[in-house]
Every structure is written in C-alpha cells, then in structure tokens.
Amino acid sequence: MNSRQRSRRVFTVESGLKADTLQIKLGPTLAELDEIPEICRNEVAEWNEHVKRLGELLFGLLCEGLGLATERLKEMSFLEGRMMVGHYYPYCPQPDLTVGITSHTDPGPLTILLQDDKGGLQIKHGEDWVPVKTVPGALVINIGDVLQILSNDEYKSVEHRVLANSSEKPRVSIAAFFSAGERDKLYGPFPELISPQKPPRFREFTYTDYITRFFTKQLDGKTLVNYYRV
Ligand SMILES: O=C(O)CCC(=O)C(=O)O
Ligand SMILES: [Fe+2]
C-alpha cells in the first residue's frame, strides 16, 4: 500500500488494524486544497505551520542533546517532508480479539501526535506495555527509526501500538510524520558522533531505499533499524 503518499481515505478492516485513516501531505508543499476535505482545510493549513515550528524546535533540542550544531537535522532536510495522518478508531465491541494499530516503530526521525481522551496508545518498556496517559492539549513526541540510526543508537525509536477502541465513542488521533525532503542523498550516523571508540553502527542509505523497504517490507525479516545495522 502506497497510501501515505497522498491524501485519501483508507478504510481497513484486516486483522491488526481497525482504523479509518485520512492522509494529507503537509510538506515540502501542502497538498492541493481540493485534496483536503473542506471541513478541515483551514485547520490543516494552520496545523502545518505549527507542526513546522514545533518540529524545528524539537530537532534543535535533539541535536543539542547529541552535542551537534542546532541546525543539523534541518540541514539534512528532515523538516521538509511532512505527512499528516488522521486516525479514526470506531467503537470495537470485541476489543480483546483485535488491536487498533499493531506494534511498530515510526520510520521517520520524529512524530508529533495529538490524541483525544479515549486512551489506548501504549509504548513498550522492557517486556511491558505501558499506557500513554491522555492529557488535554498535550502532544506525544515519538522518536522514530531514522533518528536512532542518525544518532548512532544514542536515541532509541519507541515501539508502540494502539488497542482497539472499547469506548462507545470513536477515538481520534492526528499524527504528523517528518521525513527527508531530499530522498536521494545518503543518510547514516552523523560523522560528528563517530570515533574509534564509537564506530558507525549503521551503513548509509538513500531515503528512497529506506522508505521503499519500509512500505514493501523488504527487510529480510528484520526491523528497519536492524536492516541497516552493520
Ligand atoms: O493513534 C495513535 O495514537 C498512534 C498512531 C500511530 O502510531 C501511527 O500512525 O504511526
Ligand atoms: Fe506510530
């Protein structure tokens, strides 16, 4: 399924995914206005501006956390690729038999997620699944696989899943995924982080190769992070 590339509605009821999804390209350029449902057109355009600003701030902090120049992730075009995915999880009368979204890590560097008050998002901590508390107005920030690779394992991508919605009201969440704007450049651990004591743990790849493997699951049975691990 190549559905993350443009705005469209996908209704999937196969096992392991019980959500109705609306995807809209935010960047490098916002989707054509007629591809964005009229009811939320202005809000999506405004959200895009907020996501860009917050993304820039977070990328800066994450770079500083690694001892890198603040602009490094921005320079590598990771602020440019932005995709908004709105999930709608209908009421599931038998939540023990399925899940909302199966366990996964996000492929990009960072995800900004807004969830409502229904709950159901969980992160894996050791062997346990830990619920992510719903806090009104709060955003959840996920580190994704490519940031684990660029940081040479200093930051870890977070495994997460969403339980099927047992509340009678639907659950809604809105994720903004960042990705590389320049798809054919080589990406790998930041050279500044490499030393004889800390050799690169990953080989270089183009973002085109990376994202194609993610969507087509050509990973030799490995996770995305472990596929590029040396
Ligand atoms: O709905 C959520 O809370 C999380 C969605 C998610 O993990 C994803 O779209 O990758
Ligand atoms: Fe996710």
Task: Tell me how far apart the alpha carbons of residues 33 and 26 are, in angstroms, rounded to a whole number.
Answer: 11
Distance 42 CA to ligand 1 centre (A): 23
State the pTM of this model: 0.91
pLDDT truncated to tens, each residue of the chain (230 aa)?
333 333 444 433 333 445 689 999 999 999 999 999 999 999 999 999 999 999 999 999 999 999 999 999 999 999 999 999 999 999 999 999 989 999 999 999 999 999 999 999 999 999 999 999 999 999 999 999 999 999 999 999 999 999 999 999 999 999 999 999 999 999 999 999 999 999 999 999 999 999 999 999 888 888 999 999 99
Task: Tell me how far apart the alpha carbons of residues 151 and 193 are, in angstroms, rounded to a whole number.
Answer: 7
> 217 φ, ψ to 5°?
60, 35
Of 193, 167, 206, 177, nearest in space to 105 by CA: 177
List the shell of residues around ion ligand 2, using CB closer than 5 Å.
106
Residue 104, beta-bridge partner list? 160
224 C-beta closer than 6 A to ligand 1: no
Which ligand gives the minimal distance to the CA of 104? 2
Predicted pLDDT of residue 18: 53
| Residue with CA at minimum distance from ligand 1 atom 2 | 173
Q: Is the ipTM of this complex over 0.95?
A: yes
Three-class DSSP labels, the chain: CCHHHCCEEEEECCCCECEEEEEEEEECCCCCHHHCCHHHHHHHHHHHHHHHHHHHHHHHHHHHHCCCCCCHHHHCCCCCEEEEEEEEECCCCCHHHCEEEEEECCCCCEEEEEECCCCCEEEEECCEEEECCCCCCCEEEEECHHHHHHCCCCCCCCCEEEECCCCCCCEEEEEEEEECCCCCCEECCCHHHCCCCCCCCECCEEHHHHHHHHHHCCCCCCCHHHHCEC
Radius of gyration of the chain (CA): 18
Predicted pLDDT of residue 222: 87
Task: Name 213's Cβ contacts closer than 8 Å, sequence gap at least 6.
Answer: 219, 224, 227
CA distances from 194 to 62, 71, 205 (A): 17, 18, 17
The preferred substitution site among 113, 115, 140 for testing ligand 1, maximizing ligand atoms within 8 Å of CB, is 113
101 C-beta closer than 6 A to ligand 1: yes
99 C-beta closer than 6 A to ligand 1: no
